[in-house]
Structure 1
Amino acid sequence: MARMDYAPYRITPPHTHPRATEILTVLEGTLYVGFVTSNPENRHTTKVLKRVMSLSSLKASFISNAMLVMARQWQLQP
């Protein structure tokens, strides 16, 4: 398990999870997520996650794309 804090408009470099499932949960802001399957179809799937939404790759064969971008609006409490 890991926690990632994204600065606004941050892009995550392409990476793989060959034997693992990736689960993303957004606590604040919006996250644009893209996956490319590693099977012969190389299908591209995208989804926009908003606050308190989750996404799971479910298949360990998924490769995450470089399209993880988060645009946050900080609301500071006094």
Structure 2
Amino acid sequence: MPRTFSGPALRTARRSAGLTVPELAAAVGRSQWTIYRTEQGRVPVPVDLADALAEAVNVQLEALLYADPLAVVA
């Protein structure tokens, strides 16, 4: 089944890592606004950003993905 990036999982992992939104944004070289929107699931997350986010919060990328039956596989 296709998987999709989970903004809520990112928020949980960020908080568990003890990072604020500004700290995470600085760690991955993106704006705070991008992190807020990503955590809210409002924007698609490119693979390079997903990898950087997982590394910054010290989790495997798999932890930030969920099975999405509506996702389209190209």
Q: TM-score normalised to the size of structure 2?
A: 0.28
Instruction: From the two aligned structures, give the one with the greater helix fraction.
Output: 2
Name which one, 1 or 2, has greater alpha-carbon Rg.
1
Higher-RCO chain (CA-CA 8 Å, sequence separation at least 6): 2
1 or 2, which has the higher strand percentage? Answer: 1
